[in-house]
Amino acid sequence: MMSVECVDTFRNTSNRSSSVSLPDCTMSRRAVSLILGAAAALYALCEVPTARGHLQPPAMRRFLGSKAKKRLIQEAVANDQIQNAQVVDLDDGLRGDAIGPSASIRNSFSVSLEGSLAGASPDLKNSECGGSASSPSVWYSFRVPESNSSWSLTVDTYKSSLDTVMGLLSGACATANDTGCSCVGTNDNGCGRGTYGSRISSRVSGGSDFLALVRSYNSEETGTFELTLFATVVPPPSENDGIERAATVQLEREPTAARNSTLPRSTATVTVEGTLLSTSRDSNVCSERSGRAGVWYRVDINKTSALSVEVTSKEHSMRASVLKGSECLSSPSSPPCSCLTSRAMKEQTVVASPSAYLIWIFAVEDAAVDERRSAFTLTLAVSVLPPPPENDGIERAATVQLEREPTAAGNSTLPRSTATVTVEGTLLSASSDSNICSERSGRAGVWYRVDVNETSALSVEVTSKERSMRTSVLKGSECLSSPSSPPCSCVTDWIRSARAVRASQSTYFMWVFVDDKVALLDRTSTFNRTVSLAVLPPPPANTVIE
């Protein structure tokens, strides 16, 4: 083996053609050739810097195609398997008061770190949470700090341009498919329209361990991303977190403006500010759907009234359901507790007979861990309803008395001898009649009767500020006992504007109706009904072919 001095001298004289004679070493041409060949071979296999800052063997670069070259320049990622998850220490990100028995809403932590999927391999053993197992993935593990309260935890890649899919897991996770491993949530594009970041929010207990999985949406796409872990200690839930702890609403009576009001004049109203923050989940309330968190209110009705419920919030999923009966306190999801709203809405009005009513304000579960999304305003209005109209049922139909008057000769479409009458009416407090000239139910209306003695043209028209106001015409005295089945026949269905029908000698019933919720409002329940009856002349002699 040559000494350092020998090698240095050799470098300075290596271009000479004759044998090299040095103080401590003598080298033939053959030895020089062997050493130069070995050096060239080593260089060909050594990694040298490329334009992108990665290392790559020159000989391999000449040999491999472009796709293989791309794979070679991606360095391996240490945390691309669950057992090698990168540990994230959250203690450095803590802010606010000390964590412990005195924990308050100000306690929080926020940690952000750069990650990369370049060079990451798929974790094929983990397919149950966080996207396709065939996509490159990386893992992170962390423990939520100890606290006597729950944490509102959010994990996201919001600041990343890379299209990611993310999973959040808890429990004993040797692999994500293990029975002891629980998938807290999976998300693709949860950071809003036009973004590719993922976001998962959940309420978690202090001292819990979690694994965050980040995958690329496209298995061929890799790159960098920014992972953010943010959490805030949430306060205890509201006192009205369960139906058995429903907050009683005390209504104050005040006059309602006469002209523009949609409620009767004597109305009691109240507005309540509330929050769903930290509330627990109630399942199967007025629906088979679960995973909704909410709070409860109670109002006691002493007289038959219109109960109006409106909830406003920045959270688009915020809704309200109305249940009837004190029996709901023990079992809100089964009879005799009845759900008055089959489809929860932000605003609704129901007929409320004397009873206890429970109002459930709810939203999707993750809204209950966000202070901004969980806030709402509830407005209740209770208006005592007048007695229903006397012609509320077909057996109490109001008889229409027609007065005969001449009809203008010019542009009329009716014969000259016509009897007409216009009636003002209201549907306020009218009860519901189902299956009248339709399979549709949930409509309230009033009834009118006209007796036709000669074959005539019967014209009906209903006008109202309520666009959904309609009328139907039925034929036959048999309708008094059974208006929804033969021999009672439906002559017209859902007439709004004027329409004439051929009426033979018989009894005719006219039903003016609207959606039963509209029948609870002063302004929208009134209408004008015009009935015209014109005796038809005998038919022309040539009406039959013979």
125 lies in a domain? yes
Length, in residues, of the chain:
546
The pLDDT of residue 295:
94
- Triad 183, 189, 192: Cα angle to 5°: 125
Closest CA to 215 of 268, 128, 328, 139: 139
Domain hosting 146: range is 82-233
pLDDT in tens, 82-128: 889 999 988 766 655 444 433 334 478 888 999 999 889 888 878 77
Give residue 289's pLDDT band: very low, low, confident or very high (50, 70, 90): low
The pLDDT of residue 527:
92
Is the domain of 129 the same as that of 218? Answer: yes
The pLDDT of residue 11:
40
The residue among 1 and 231 whose pLDDT is bigger is 231
Is the domain of 30 the same as that of 55? Answer: yes
286 lies in a domain? yes
Rounded to a whole number of angstroms, the CA Rg of the chain reads: 40
pLDDT at 334 over 90: no
Is the domain of 274 the same as that of 401? Answer: no
194 lies in a domain? yes
Query: What CATH number should be reported for the domain holding residue 526?
Result: 2.60.120.1090
**Averaged pLDDT for residues 65-76:** 40
Instruction: Tell me the residue type at 397.
Output: A
Q: Which residues are within 8 A (CB) of 389 and not within 5 positions of it... i.e. 6 or more apart?
A: 425, 426, 427, 428, 429, 430, 446
Distance between CA atoms of residues 238 and 7, nearest Å: 83
Is the domain of 88 the same as that of 227? Answer: yes
Is the domain of 211 the same as that of 280? Answer: no
Is the domain of 65 the same as that of 114? Answer: no
pLDDT in tens, 414-437: 445 688 899 899 998 888 876 788
240 lies in a domain? no
- Predicted model pTM: 0.59
| Both structure tokens of 111 | 């940690």
254 lies in a domain? no
**Averaged pLDDT for residues 155-176:** 86
pLDDT at 236 over 60: yes
pLDDT at 186 over 80: yes
The pLDDT of residue 28:
54
Answer with the one of 358, 384, 410 that is the final residue of a domain. Answer: 384
- How much of the chain exceeds pLDDT 90, in percent? 27
Is the domain of 27 the same as that of 89? Answer: no
Is the domain of 14 the same as that of 113? Answer: no
Answer with the one of 363, 384, 405 that is the final residue of a domain. Answer: 384
What values do phi and psi take at 500, rounded to 5?
A: -110, 140
Answer with the one of 384, 415, 437 that is the final residue of a domain. Answer: 384
Query: What CATH number should be reported for the domain holding residue 274?
Result: 2.60.120.510
Is the domain of 66 the same as that of 97? Answer: no
The pLDDT of residue 249:
93
**Averaged pLDDT for residues 53-62:** 39
257 lies in a domain? no
pLDDT in tens, 455-482: 999 999 999 888 888 888 999 998 988 8
pLDDT at 206 over 60: yes
**Averaged pLDDT for residues 166-195:** 79
Is the domain of 221 the same as that of 114? Answer: yes
The per-residue pLDDT of the chain, averaged, comes to: 77
Give residue 166's pLDDT band: very low, low, confident or very high (50, 70, 90): very high
544 lies in a domain? no
Is the domain of 111 the same as that of 142? Answer: yes
Closest CA to 294 of 275, 308, 307: 275
Is the domain of 206 the same as that of 130? Answer: yes
Distance between CA atoms of residues 380 and 344, nearest Å: 15
How many domains does the chain contain in total?
4
289 lies in a domain? yes
Are the CB atoms for 378 and 272 separated by under 8 Å? yes
**Averaged pLDDT for residues 240-263:** 68
